[in-house]
Amino acid sequence: MGRWLAIVLVIIGASSYGLLSSFIKIAYDHGFEGGQISPAQMTMGTLFVWLLILFHKKSWANPFKGPWIKLGLVGIFGLALTTVFYNNALSELNASLSIILLFQFTWMTISMDCIVKRRLPRKAEGYAIVIIMLGTLFAVNIFETNWHQFNMRGLLYGLLSALTYSLFLFLTGQVKSSLPPLMNSAVMLTASIPVIYVLYPPTVFFDSNGGILLLWGLLLGFLGQVVPTISFNIGIPRIGSTLAAMLGSVELPVAVVAAFLLIGEAVNGVQWLGMGLILAGIIISEYKTGTTT
């Protein structure tokens, strides 16, 4: 696979995750809670991936012949906990504050890479981080953010979601596996299920609205687990976690546009400027990375 195709896949995965916040907000407006959404999302996402494997013979492989323990840990810390923390952050804070906190994954991922590889951040990485973070503040309209909704629980959930998302991006690029990408994704997601069920028992599926909850889980699982996990498993090992963190910033413009189209949130000129800065930061990071590595 070519480098640019891998880049496109990571952008697709991040964009899909960017759509997630608006749909979760809609699900909350329909009366569901985080303790219902999270298990439904993970369960249906996992079943969807196994269904894809069933109809894709090239993905048939013995999962225990791969680094299944490492993949499972990525699933637990990178997928299950990110889902729990971010969904809880969205229930405590407005979407803008939640996304600001989640977007700390950009510098966190690069910091992890620098620590593990015992290197200093490259100038290009520094420039890109500054531009992307500045764009983030503009894109969420920092000047009109409702800071009165700010609370310590939401802050904690938001920062934890950034940390676990960083672990997912970083570790996905570190784990070497000969398994097909679909099987890698299935192992990660399957390992996350017991953790989710310990935190949120699946008895919610047997409530009176369980059928509707599963339909929501199918949509949210597809956007939040299936597309990102498969895309990242294919793309990140080919481009590295540092560039993946930069490309992942496209998630925010997608989230802002989705909020505008799906739930009617206004988008002003400052936010469009912010989205432009984020895209510029991504382009700069890729150009510089390509010439310095």
- In the prediction, which pLDDT does 286 show? 59
Neighbours of 215 (CB within 10 A): 12
pLDDT of residue 241: 79
Q: Is 267 exposed, middle or buried (0-12, 13-18, 19+ CB in 10 A)?
A: middle
Reference 155, options 105, 87, 92, 201; nearest CA is 92
**Phi, psi at 162, each rounded to 5°:** -65, -45
Question: Considering only 144-148, 244-248, 263-267, which range has the smallest mean pLDDT?
Answer: 144-148
pLDDT at 169: 84
Segment among 63-77, 176-190, 194-208, 240-254 with least mean pLDDT: 240-254
On the question of pLDDT at 97 being above 80, the answer is no
What is the rounded CA–CA span in Å between residue 284 and residue 7? Answer: 14
Residue 147 pLDDT grade (very low, low, confident, very high; cuts 50, 70, 90):
low
Structure tokens at 62: 């013995």
Mean pLDDT rounded to a whole number for the chain: 84
Please report which confidence band the pLDDT of residue 290 belongs to, taking 50, 70 and 90 as the band edges. Answer: very low
61: left (phi over 0), alpha (psi -120 to 50) or beta: beta
Q: On the CB side of 100, how many CA atoms lie within 13 Å of its CA?
A: 21
pLDDT level of residue 51 (50, 70, 90 thresholds):
very high
Average pLDDT of 252-281?
80
Report angle CA 126, 269, 87 to the nearest 5 degrees.
65
Query: Which value, to the nearest 10 degrees, does the dihedral of the CA atoms of residues 66, 70, 72, 76 take?
Result: -160
Chain position carrying tokens 């992307």 = 132
Contact status, residue 158 vs residue 93, Cβ threshold 8 Å: yes
Please count the helices (runs of H) and the strands (runs of E) in the chain.
14, 0
pLDDT in tens, 173-224: 788 888 888 899 899 999 999 999 999 988 888 888 888 999 999 999 999 8
* Cα(245)–Cα(271) distance, integer angstroms: 21
Count of CB atoms within 10 A of residue 194's CB? Answer: 12
Percentage helix, strand, coil for the chain under 3-state DSSP, each rounded to 5: 85, 0, 15
Residue from 239, 241, 236 nearest 111 by CA:
241
Q: CA-based angle 242:94:137, to the nearest 5?
A: 45
